[in-house]
Amino acid sequence: MDALHAAAPALALSVLALALSAGRRGPAGLLMALSSACLFAFAALLLYSYSVVDWVSLVLSVTSFALVVVVTLYTTYYVEAERLPRSLPLLVSLFGFSISLTYLAVNLILFVIAWSFMEIIGFVLVRIGEEYSTEGSLRAARGYLLTSTTAFEITAFTLIVLSVPSIVSSYSPNVLYQPFAGATPVVEVSSPVLLALLLAGFVAKAALFPLHFWLPGAHSTAPSPASALLSGLTTPLGFYGLLRLTEIVDLTAWSQSLAYLLLAMGLSSIAYAGLEALGQRDGKLMLAYTTILTNGFTALLFALYLTSPTSTLLLVAVVLVMLMQMGYKTVLFCGMGLIELAYGTRYIQGLAGVSQQLRTSSLGVLIAVYTLIGVPGTVGFLAKLLSMYLLLTGVVEGGGLPAVAALAGAVLYIALSAVVGVRVLSVYTASMRSRRPPLEFKQPNTPLEAAVLGMGLLSLAPSALLLQGLGGPGWLVALAVSTLPIPLAVSLLQTARVVTGVARAPA
């Protein structure tokens, strides 16, 4: 394909620049990282202009890579403070690139290759966490390998095997190389066992209940920058993979059953993970369970999309929730890494007033928390508002039990995510005078805090642009644009309140 040949040099230069920026401090590293981001964006736009990839791939790949670049810069300084292996920034950069390349993959073969590469590096990162961390599971890497990695390889093998009849009948392997954009389903599934094998890898990656058990240990054990990418960028790939599966495999006969399955798993994930998240003292474990919580919400929307695959707005809602996950989760995990550096622990019970000492990074973290809660101006607000609008419309128009169940699950998710968000908020903004434990504070490097702020600001932009580009409802686009300054303004006011309040407090 001409477009792929044209984009390949830009992608090669992008990964080279990103790898060179890993571990390099100062302006040179920053310049290389920015160059890498520009090259990747150019390649993605080129593929999109040739209609080789669709808008879903474009939005998710570019957004994820922008976050990958900032996380790579963060890791460069994080390694020195935590005394982790010098190879960690390079591993994180390659891991992040493989994630974004999976979102940008134009066909099944490239998708499987990029995903497999991602799984291998992900396993190595979790294993590093086991070796160097004094907290977290010692079986996390094994669980990641046996569940997430193995399940995907089974799914990929099954999909390729099922493609053989189409390849033989047409005397061409086009099914493996045809672009996802505009693809027509050519693979048929006649057995529920084969369907289960096709779904296993994607459902396991999304960590939906009951295939969630590997995630809390793996994501809380890995180093914080790796945890940010694992939770924020890789788990949405489960739903992205399901979307691509529907474009290759004819699931018409199974769509209703599959929708009910995802509804059940989504509701179970929301109820289970929400309660588990609220019961955690370990900040990273709490965030890991919040990942399962948000994925449960995504599963509800994706289930409805399966029953109405022509609904662009439902797909937009699914993508907005995925962007929400990318935005708030990368920031919060990196923010938790700063807490661990500053206070020597990731246990947040009783910790308060962090904004007074980590002022710059607190702005990014507070934006992420407001995204999770759904404050106007954030992608979380737009995702939840559009989802509730579509779910309520479905109930009113007689959507039946699936619509009612999805609406109930969405309400539960909004409530639980708000409670979790308020708990994280209290760590940063609650009074220090009575709650702060006697922990020694060590000021992290300024670039670490600046990176967290940068991630927070990045999470504000894509939603309004996405809605405008897709011709979303005018009222929703106007709301997205008009409320954009609110999260940053509120974050500044909250941080200022904590700082001035502590400054005025008697010694």
The amino acid occupying position 216 is: P
Kindly state the DSSP code that residue 347 receives in the 8-state scheme: B
Tokens encoding 392:
């309520």
Average pLDDT over the chain, rounded to an integer: 83
3-state SS assignment for residue 51:
coil
Q: Please give, one letter per residue, the 3-state secondary structure of 388-422.
A: HHHHHHHHHCCCHHHHHHHHHHHHHHHHHHHHHHH
Distance CA 459, CA 488 (A): 11
Distance from CA of residue 454 to its chain's centroid?
A: 16
CB-neighbour burial class of residue 271 (10 A; exposed 0-12, middle 13-18, buried 19+): middle
* Confidence at 149, pLDDT banded by 50, 70, 90: confident
Distance CA 318, CA 59 (A): 12
Distance CA 369, CA 394 (A): 29
| pLDDT on residue 461 | 61
| pLDDT on residue 435 | 47
| pLDDT on residue 100 | 95
Distance CA 333, CA 235 (A): 14
* Confidence at 44, pLDDT banded by 50, 70, 90: very high
Residues 489-503 pLDDT 10s: 777 777 676 666 544
Position with higher pLDDT, 440 vs 78: 78
| DSSP run (H or E) holding 250 | strand 249-250
Q: Which of 49-53, 339-343, 468-472 has the least mean pLDDT?
A: 468-472
Closest listed residue to residue 302, CA positions, set 288, 314, 320, 289: 314
| pLDDT on residue 441 | 65
Helices and strands in the chain, H and E counts: 23, 2
Tokens encoding 412:
């539960």
| pLDDT on residue 171 | 43
| pLDDT on residue 151 | 77
pTM for this entry: 0.90
Tokens encoding 177:
């190389």
Residues 317-357 pLDDT 10s: 899 999 999 999 999 999 999 998 888 888 888 787 788 88
* Confidence at 133, pLDDT banded by 50, 70, 90: low
